[in-house]
């Protein structure tokens, strides 16, 4: 490549980088303005957020999910989600229809291609664990990162709760990124990781799915690439976006180098200072932002019974 051509490429790259930085800076300014507005609006609407930890999570009071959610109260809740990353609601004795109606105020609901759904409600995933079906969501992950456009967030409602155990832990992936060494940050800057639904593929095989059926899923949901460090579309903040459940490799990096690096990145979610832990009660609801969090459902209650229902809100392509 000639010096002139190289200079043009370099100039284009710098221009794209400056544009991206400008977009992120604008988002951060908008976020600061929105936060100031939200504090006033929250007081006006009678909605309060009580943090569970310095890093992540808040319990919400002044809202019942059975009631219609107008634009003002929706805006306060969404801003609370951006600020705290996961919101918890207690004593929400609601119907499945009300659960869906609340979630739809924040976007279109997805239909999970691999999970069983509640009869009559294709958007609702029932999650029941007991003596015959032990809990298995005990790995740090963000939901459906194997999609080209992974989810915005998920809303989980607990219908039956074991007397002890069955808590869910949530991790702040902004903090996980911020806590990395400069050396690691430099190594992952601009890198993309490969995500796949391998865990569901194995379950399909165990259930007796044919090769043709599995290949059809492979075509519909091919492996996807997402940035290792994702920029949140509403806050402009950067967070780690790889997880042990669905991330398989780093593009253009040998596995001998990539896998130890990925294990290091996965491990950041397990740092207690980046977490909160939620103790469920019957009719508790959690609403988390999949773009900047990971979660881990402790499977410490076997053989006791735990019953939940989840809906998930469609998102957009990470950048």
Which residues have C-beta within 8 Å of that of residue 148, sequence separation ≥ 6?
Answer: 224, 317
b/e map of 146-183 (b: 16 or more CB within 10 Å)? bbeebbbbbbbbbeebbeebbbbbbbbbbbbbeebeee
* pLDDT (average), residues 90-105: 98
Confidence of residue 10 (pLDDT cuts 50, 70, 90): very low
Per-residue tokens: 296 = 């881990």
**Residue 171: C-alpha distances to residues 136, 160, 288 (Å):** 18, 24, 10
Active site residue 306: no
First and final C-alpha spacing in the chain: 29
Element (H, E) at 274: none
CA proximity to 28, closest of 319, 179, 232? 232
Do the Cβ atoms of 240 and 173 come closer than 8 Å?
yes
Which residues have C-beta within 8 Å of that of residue 27, sequence separation ≥ 6?
Answer: 232, 233, 234, 235, 236
Which residues have C-beta within 8 Å of that of residue 35, sequence separation ≥ 6?
Answer: 79, 83
**Residue 281: C-alpha distances to residues 89, 209, 261 (Å):** 10, 37, 38
Do the Cβ atoms of 265 and 242 come closer than 8 Å?
yes
**Among 226, 230, 295, 306, which one carries the catalytic annotation?**
295
* DSSP 8-state assignment for residue 44: H
pLDDT digits (tens, 9 = 90+) for 269-295: 999 999 999 999 999 999 999 999 999
Q: How far apart are CA 82 and CA 65, in angstroms?
A: 19
Per-residue tokens: 245 = 């459940």
Q: How far apart are CA 304 and CA 289, in angstroms?
A: 29
Per-residue tokens: 77 = 């809740």
Q: How far apart are CA 158 and CA 107, in angstroms?
A: 22
Do the Cβ atoms of 160 and 154 come closer than 8 Å?
no
Q: How far apart are CA 274 and CA 174, in angstroms?
A: 9
pTM of the entire predicted model:
0.88
Q: How far apart are CA 11 and CA 4, in angstroms?
A: 10
Active site residue 73: no
Per-residue tokens: 283 = 């009719």
Domains of the chain: residue spans and CATH: 3-173+267-313 (3.60.130.10)
* pLDDT reading at 157 higher than 80: yes
Active site residue 141: yes
**How far is CA 209 from its chain centroid?**
28
Element (H, E) at 126: strand 125-129
* pLDDT reading at 89 higher than 80: yes
**Among 157, 230, 237, 310, which one carries the catalytic annotation?**
310
What is the average pLDDT value for the chain, to the nearest integer? 91
Do the Cβ atoms of 1 and 10 come closer than 8 Å?
no
Active site residue 143: yes
**Among 99, 141, 232, 238, which one carries the catalytic annotation?**
141
pLDDT digits (tens, 9 = 90+) for 198-221: 999 999 999 999 999 999 999 999
pLDDT of residue 113: 96
pLDDT digits (tens, 9 = 90+) for 23-76: 656 655 655 555 555 566 677 789 999 999 999 999 999 999 999 999 999 999
The alpha carbons of the chain give a radius of gyration, in whole angstroms, of 21
pLDDT of residue 239: 98
**Among 31, 112, 143, 195, which one carries the catalytic annotation?**
143
300 phi/psi in degrees, rounded to 5? -110, 15
Confidence of residue 2 (pLDDT cuts 50, 70, 90): very low
pLDDT of residue 16: 45
pLDDT digits (tens, 9 = 90+) for 158-187: 999 999 999 999 999 999 999 999 999 999
* pLDDT reading at 11 higher than 90: no
Q: How far apart are CA 72 and CA 68, in angstroms?
A: 11
pLDDT of residue 7: 46
């Amino acid at each position: 490549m000639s010096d002139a051509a190289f200079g043009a490429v370099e100039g284009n790259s710098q221009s794209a980088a400056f544009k991206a930085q400008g977009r992120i800076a604008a988002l951060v300014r908008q976020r600061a303005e929105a936060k100031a507005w939200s504090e006033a609006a929250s007081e006006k609407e009678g909605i309060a957020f009580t943090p569970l930890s310095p890093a992540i999570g808040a319990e919400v009071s002044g809202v019942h999910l059975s009631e219609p959610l107008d634009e003002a109260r929706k805006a306060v809740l969404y801003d609370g989600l951006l600020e705290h990353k996961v919101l918890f609601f207690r004593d929400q004795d609601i119907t499945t229809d009300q659960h869906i109606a609340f979630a739809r105020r924040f976007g279109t609901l997805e239909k999970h291609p691999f999970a069983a759904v509640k009869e009559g409600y294709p958007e609702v995933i029932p999650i029941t664990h007991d003596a015959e079906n032990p809990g298995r969501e005990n790995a740090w992950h963000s939901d459906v990162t194997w999609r080209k456009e992974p989810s915005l967030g998920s809303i989980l409602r607990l219908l039956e709760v074991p007397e002890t155990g069955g808590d869910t832990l949530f991790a702040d992936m902004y903090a996980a990124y911020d806590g990395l060494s400069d050396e690691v940050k430099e190594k992952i800057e601009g890198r993309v990781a490969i995500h796949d639904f391998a865990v569901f593929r194995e379950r399909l095989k165990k259930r007796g799915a044919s090769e043709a059926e599995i290949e059809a899923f492979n075509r519909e949901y091919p492996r996807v690439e997402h940035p290792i460090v994702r920029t949140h579309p509403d806050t402009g903040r950067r967070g780690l976006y790889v997880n042990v459940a669905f991330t398989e490799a780093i593009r253009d990096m040998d596995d001998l180098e990539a896998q130890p690096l990925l294990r290091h990145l996965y491990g950041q979610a397990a740092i207690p200072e980046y977490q909160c832990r939620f103790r469920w009660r019957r009719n508790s609801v959690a609403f988390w932002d999949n773009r900047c969090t990971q979660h881990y459902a402790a499977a410490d209650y076997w053989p006791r019974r735990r019953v939940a229902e989840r809906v998930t809100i469609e998102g957009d392509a990470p950048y």
